[in-house]
Amino acid sequence: MDIQIKSSRTVLATENAVSKLIELKAEQDSKESFLRMGVKPGGCSGYSYEMFFDTDKFDGDVIEEYGEVNIVVDAESLEHIKGATLDYKEGLMETGFSIDNPNVSRTCGCGNSFS
């Protein structure tokens, strides 16, 4: 199996994002779970993000280690996500994960898809 653990970050996770991921991972049934982060075709601008806890790793996956939690990006999503920052915000107007992605040329009005 060709899985890569890189020293330079494909996805940068902020301290807030890592803390929330550790909290969410603790709720998972498997201690081996990790966050799978990728893109899929769809949405009004061409692509949309997907993030979920997973336990299966595949050829070409890139693994970013953040202490107790790993973020895994599949080979097909890599070109769309490389250099992105994953953050978690908790506030009155906005709560949840956000992705700041330098590869995005435009987003839709709903903020859930990009090209």
Q: Decide: 22 and 68 in contact? Cβ < 8 Å.
A: yes
Q: What is the pLDDT of residue 5?
A: 45
Q: What is the pLDDT of residue 112?
A: 56
64 or 1: which leads in pLDDT = 64
pLDDT tens column, 38-85: 988 876 667 888 999 999 999 999 999 999 899 999 999 999 899 999
pLDDT tens column, 86-106: 999 988 888 899 888 888 766
Q: Is 21 exposed, middle or buried (0-12, 13-18, 19+ CB in 10 A)?
A: buried
Report the top-level CATH class of 4-109: mainly beta
